[in-house]
Amino acid sequence: MSKKGQTRQQIHHPGTRVERSGIYTCDAGCDHSTDVKGHVFPPLPKGCQAQGWVLLTAAHPE
């Protein structure tokens, strides 16, 4: 299942629909985070090398 030995976190690209509200962090390992609530993922901060957002804390775990 693991292709690159990376984590199995799903990357959500900016502009795609948010399926689960919560706090997301960029996948580049810097300290960017965003709190999304059912809309679309925001663009990554300027200069951020990440490909997208990964879930850090779900607002309402099911």
Query: How far apart, in whole angstroms, are the C-alpha atoms of residue 1 and residue 48?
Result: 28
- For residue 47, CA distances in Å to 32, 44, 52, 59 come to 11, 8, 13, 27
Q: Based on CB atoms, which residue is closest to Zn ion, 18 or 27?
A: 27
Nearest approach in angstroms of CB 62 to Zn ion is 27
**Which of helix, strand or coil describes residue 24?**
strand
Nearest approach in angstroms of CB 11 to Zn ion is 12
Q: Based on CB atoms, which residue is closest to Zn ion, 5 or 29?
A: 29
Nearest approach in angstroms of CB 18 to Zn ion is 18
